[in-house]
Amino acid sequence: MQSTDVGNKESGKIWHRKPSPAARDGIIVNIIHTTSDYLPKVLRFLNVAFDSSGDCLIAGDHQGNIYVFDLSGNRFNLVQRTAQACTALAFNLRRKSEFLVALADYSIKCFDTVTKELISWMRGHESSVFSISVHASGRYAITTSSDTAQLWDLDTFQRKRKLNILQSVGIQKVFFLPLSNTILSCFKDNSIFAWECDTLFCKYQLPPPPESSSILYKVFAVTRDGRILAAGGKSNHLHLWCLEAKQLFRIIQMPTKVRAIRYLEFLPDSFDAGSNQPPPPLVKVIEDLPKSKLSSGDMKMKVTSGRVQRPAKSRENQIQTRILKQDLTGHFENKENELSDGLNKKRLQILLKGYGEYPTKYRMFIWRSLLQLPENHTAFSSLIDKGIHVAFLNLQKKYPIKSTKLLRVLQRTLSALAHWSAIFSDTPYLPLLAFPFVKLFQNNQLICFEVVATLIINWCQHWFEYFPNPPINILSMIENILAFHDKELLQHFRDHDITSQVYAWPLLETVFSEVLTREEWLKLFDNVFSNHPSFLLLTVVAYNICSRAPLLNCSLKDDFEYFFHHRNNLDISVVIREVYHLMDTTPADIHPDNMLDVFVALTKGQYPVFNQYPKFIVDYQTQERERIRNDELDYLRERQTVENMQAEVDQQRVEDEAWYQKQELLRKAEETRREMLLQEEEKMIQQRQRLAAVKRELKVKEMHLQEAARRRFLKLQQDQREMELRRLEDEIERKVHMRDQEMASAVKDLEMRHLELESQKRLYEKNLTRNQETVAKEIREDADAYRRKVNLEEHTFHRLIEMDQTQNQKTQKLIEENLAKAEQACLNTDWRIQALHKQRCDDLQRNECYQEMAKLLQKNRRKEIEVLNAMMEKEAKKWEEAEEKDFRLKSEKKASALSDASRQWFLEKEINDALEHPEGPRCQYEQVASSCLPRTSPGSDVSEVDASTWISLNQRKIQWDTMEQDLLERVRNLRQRLTAQARNNCQTPHLLAT
């Protein structure tokens, strides 16, 4: 057994490998629904309902999730989330994709499984709905709660009727009987009523059950044909009611361990011809009493565990049982499937030849297996839904059938055939061909239709090629076979002008139903369905050959026609043996096997197209029939019009005579009334004179009263106008005051707006000034730092001079001379280095300026293109530019720091050298001076040394002044650039705004 967890999936497969029933309980798959929460739990399925075909089922859990399980397609789908528990389901509506669900809020909703949309919402119940029953047509539905049952029209989704009862009684269940218009209502007091669906007329009431087995009914089940009702409850007894006889005919006693029956259902059996019977594995041991002793107290069947025993009657009226072996594995599969696996056509033919016919109990199943009926429920339903065909509306006039049910089934079957193929609406012998099968399968219309369709496709081959004439080719085959096997009989037919349309065609068009009894016909078609389609043609020949003696004695055409349309004293077994003999002895050149195709079953899903007929003839006949029908309708309308006109003329004549009589009576009455009026007029004249005097007096009084009322009204009107004028003046003053207030408030708003703009302007100027002051402060701080650095260097330099002055005069002079020369050389070198460095800095600055200009040009081009979409990008780029300038400033500061560090290091080195060698030999200083300085004339003296030292100091001072001026100039330029940049940043939003 497989297990499938639906989980949170909305669709998926029901099983992932080939399903096989479990060995013990027959379960194919176990479907569960668990949540994926932190603590998973199992959601219970509350209700399940199958559709009309049995291939799909719908299930709903207690959280309102509704799933459709397609068993044939191996798929499940979540079709709706109702967010509340469902109490009942129905899936067998006329529109196959729709279903009904009863919810916990006492409402019923209709959803579509394909579009998942809400079709309708029906309300009206005041308690939980626990049952939904749908009519066989799918048009009506009955919803049942504990206090009421309501009948709904599923085309309009409107409530038609409502059944209210006393609260003390309560409703147990209300449902439709299958294949009928009867509603069965079962109440909690065990009363059961049957009602007519259309008129709601009470047809009958079932009698109460016997007191010896009285139980409170809780569950019910009805067979497909609506004949047997099973009822059970909190007891181990099961009651079976015959609804036709309206009486309890059997009581089944379950084992003692069974205390209550919770659910009942009839399972379909393949051999019940449409009704339902319990399958043998469900009934273990049955004890029944003989019919002669059957009474209300003896109608019991005892069911116990063990082997299957069935009662058998003996001559002493004692109960005997027949023991059947139980399946040891307990694997109780469907009997039809179990037999279909072991059926073999050749073995069936051997069995048929041995016994002459199939067992009655299994005949229908064997026929369905031999014909390989696909049971296309959907396709058949679509044909049935088209309704009764026009050609068969008046079928009862031509074929008066006593049973209305049989007539209705015949009409539906013929209509389905006509909707399947147009030729069958014009085939006159189709009712004769289909009637025996309709009578046999009247409780299962699908099987009936498919059997007839299979018969037409295989055993009626080439019948419609000469339509509307009989099949001349088929009749010629029969005549050729008869000529080969019995020339004398054929010559006798020819001598009396008897053609194959007399001795063969009546048998074919009625499929021998007129000349054979039911048992003979069934026996014959056991052999027909078990052999090649040519068997039916050979049966016609065999029937004539076996009846040659009475046929040779006939000489009149009426006698021949009577013979082939009525039953005759003929053994069908002899005819069947003769057919097999003809099959073996007929030559191949005339054998129908070579001219007819082999058996072909109906296709699964949809029925094949049948077009083996002259289409133009059928179309012409259909058009002519339609034209004749329209002409007939026109004639009937005209005749009805003439009859209506004649009736109107007769009625008018009667009305005229009555009118003349009334006029005469009125004239006489008028004369009498005129005399009376003259007398009354004299009296009236006198009264009028008296009244005129009274009126004059009243008129005078009325005039006085009207004058007084007019004066009062004028005064009241004047007062009202004065009040209206005062009210208008007050209103004008109030509006003037309101307008003044509004103008004052507007002026204040404008002033406030002006103040806000001024404050915003000042705030903006303040921010701009603050930014400029911040930049100027930074520049001043940099200048101050640079000035302090210069002062420090000068202080260090002066300290060095002071240290040199403290040394020996001669050594000091020599050192100062050599130091001056060294400083001169160093200054010259520094000037060159600074010149080169300045040139390099200028080159780098020009390069940077060029690059910056190129970048600015590119940015300007991009800004011109993307000015409306790049506000944030421009701001980011400005910040990047500021960071680049800051970085450049830092790099310049770093270069200046490196230069200062090198000069500091040089000065410290010179100081250290001076401190370490104050008294070195003079020649050493001379060598150092000669190596470090250029050669001078030998006539130089100490005065020249002092002059050179003073010149170097002046140059140093001039150099520092120049550097200070350059630095100040650079600071000024930087301040101007920052100010211009701030102005541009302030002007840019205005430019963008314009």
Per-residue pLDDT reduced to its tens digit, 634-657? 888 888 889 889 999 999 999 999
Mean pLDDT, range 669-686, rounded to an integer: 88
Residue-level pLDDT at 448:
92
Q: What is the separation, in whole angstroms, between the first and last Cα of the chain?
A: 81
Question: What are the backbone dihedrals phi and psi of residue 26, each rounded to the nearest 5 degrees, phi first?
Answer: 75, 10
pLDDT tops 50 at residue 282: no
Q: Which helix (H) or strand (E) holds 86?
A: strand 86-90
Give the contacts of 472 (CB within 8 A, at least 6 positions apart). Answer: 466
β-strand partners of 164: 148
Tell me the average pLDDT across 859-882.
Answer: 75
Mapped onto helix, strand or coil, the DSSP state of residue 390 is helix
Measured CA to CA, the distance from residue 572 to residue 701 in angstroms comes to: 121
Residue 164 has what pLDDT? 76
Question: 168-177, 206-215, 874-883, 907-916: which has the highest mean pLDDT?
Answer: 168-177
Contact indicator for 51, 96 with CB cutoff of 8 Å? yes
- Amino acid identity of residue 491, one-letter, is Q
157-215, pLDDT tens digit by residue?
Answer: 888 888 877 666 788 889 998 878 889 999 888 889 998 887 888 888 888 887 777 78
456 vs 454: CA distance, rounded Å:
5
Tell me the one-letter amino acid at 740.
Answer: D
User: C-alpha 779: how far from its chain's center?
Assistant: 77
- 143, pLDDT greater than 90: yes
Confidence bin at 307 (pLDDT 50/70/90): very low
> 946 pLDDT band (50/70/90 cuts)?
very low
Smallest CA-to-CA distance from 261 within 239, 279, 288 is with 239
Beta pairing, strands 118-122 & 108-112: antiparallel
pTM over 0.75: no
Tokens of 156: 């309009």
Cα 426 → chain centroid: 42
| Beta-bridge partner residues of 444 | none
- Condensed to tens digits (0 to 9), the pLDDT of residues 770-815 reads 887 888 888 888 888 888 888 888 788 777 777 766 665 666 667 6
Task: Please state, in angstroms and rounded to a whole number, the distance separating the CA atoms of residues 976 and 772.
Answer: 10
341, 416, 414, 347: which is closest to 376 by C-alpha? 416
Burial class (CB in 10 A: 0-12, 13-18, 19+), 631: exposed
Residue 222, class by beta-carbon neighbours within 10 Å (0-12 exposed, 13-18 middle, 19+ buried)?
buried
CA distances (Å), 926 to each of 319, 459, 667, 805, 806, in order?
Answer: 159, 146, 180, 20, 21
Please check the confidence at residue 281 and state whether its pLDDT lies above 70: no
Between CA 329 and CA 369 the distance in angstroms is 26
Mean pLDDT, residues 47-65: 85
Give residue-wise pLDDT tens across range 419-460.
888 788 878 888 998 999 998 888 888 899 999 999 998 998
- Nearest 10 degrees: CA dihedral of 593, 594, 596, 601? 70
* Contact between 68 and 113 (Cβ < 8 Å): yes
Bridge partners for 111 per DSSP = 99, 118
β-bridge mates for residue 242, sequence order:
228, 247
**Whether the Cβ atoms of residue 14 and residue 69 lie closer than 8 Å to each other:** yes
For the chain, the maximum distance between any two Cα atoms, rounded to a whole number of angstroms, is 189
| Mean pLDDT of the 87-99 span | 86
Q: What does the block give as tokens for 54?
A: 């049995």
Pairing mode of beta strands 319-324, 108-112: unpaired
DSSP SS3 for 924: helix
540, pLDDT greater than 90: yes
Rounded (10°) CA dihedral 589, 591, 593, 597? 70
CB count in 10 Å sphere of residue 204: 12
Q: What is the pLDDT of residue 615?
A: 65
* pLDDT value at residue 360: 86
- The answer to whether residues 303 and 254 touch, using CB atoms and an 8 Å cutoff, is yes
pLDDT at residue 621, as a whole number = 66
How far apart (Å, rounded) are the C-alpha atoms in residues 276 and 177? 14
Checking 355-362 for CB contacts under 8 A at 24+ apart, the result is: 356/523, 356/573, 356/576, 357/522, 357/523, 357/526, 358/526, 361/271, 362/271
Dihedral of CA atoms 836, 838, 841, 846 in degrees, nearest 10, equals -110
Contact (CB, 8 A) for 31 and 6: yes
When the pLDDT of each residue in the chain is averaged and rounded to a whole number, the result is 78
Q: Nearest Cα to 49, choosing from 122, 116, 111?
A: 111
Q: Rg of the Cα trace of the chain? A: 60
251: closest CA among 291, 297, 307, 290? 297
Under a CB-based contact definition with an 8 Å cutoff, are residues 165 and 147 in contact?
yes
Burial per residue of 149-172, b for 16 or more beta-carbon CB atoms within 10 angstroms, e otherwise:
bbbbebeeeeeeeebeeeeeeebb
Residue 468 reports pLDDT greater than 80: no
pLDDT tens profile 610-635: 776 666 566 666 777 777 878 888 88
The reported pLDDT for the residue numbered 953 is: 55
Compute the Cα dihedral for 477, 483, 488, 493 and give only its sign: positive
For 925, residues 6+ apart whose C-beta sits below 8 A from its C-beta are 814, 815, 818
Q: By C-alpha distance, which of 356, 416, 366 is closest to 392?
A: 416
> Given this model, what pLDDT does residue 168 score?
67
Q: How much is the pLDDT for 451?
A: 92
Task: Please say whether the dihedral angle defined by the alpha carbons of residues 480, 481, 485 and 489, taken in this order, is positive or negative.
Answer: negative
**What's the order of all strands across the beta sheet hosting 129-134?**
129-134, 140-145, 148-153, 158-164
What local confidence, expressed as pLDDT, does residue 956 receive?
A: 62
Q: What CA dihedral angle connects 584, 586, 587 and 590, to 10 degrees?
A: -140
Least confident segment among 242-256, 315-329, 350-364: 315-329
Upstream peptide bond of 918 is cis (omega within 30 degrees of 0): no
Of the two residues 401 and 321, the one the predictor is more confident about is 401
Higher pLDDT, 39 or 833: 833
Query: What's the mean pLDDT in 738-760?
Result: 85
**Residues 6+ positions from 51 with CB-CB distance below 8 Å:** 57, 58, 91, 92, 96
Residue 695 contacts residue 687 (beta carbons within 8 Å): no
| 3-class secondary structure, 130 | strand
Helix, strand, coil shares of the chain, percent, nearest 5, are 55, 15, 30
Higher pLDDT, 957 or 925: 957
Average pLDDT over residues 396-419: 87
pLDDT at 353: 81
pLDDT of 538:
92
Return the higher-pLDDT residue of 948 and 828. 828
Sign of torsion, CA 743 746 752 758?
Answer: negative
Is 80 exceeded by the pLDDT of residue 376? yes
For residue 539, pLDDT over 90 is answered with yes
Is the predicted pLDDT of residue 36 greater than 70, yes or no?
no
Residue 110 contacts residue 100 (beta carbons within 8 Å): yes
Please state the rounded mean pLDDT for residues 811-822.
68
pLDDT of residue 506: 92
What secondary structure does DSSP assign to 237-253, as a single string?
EEEEEETTTTEEEEEEE
Mean per-residue pLDDT, 880-897: 82
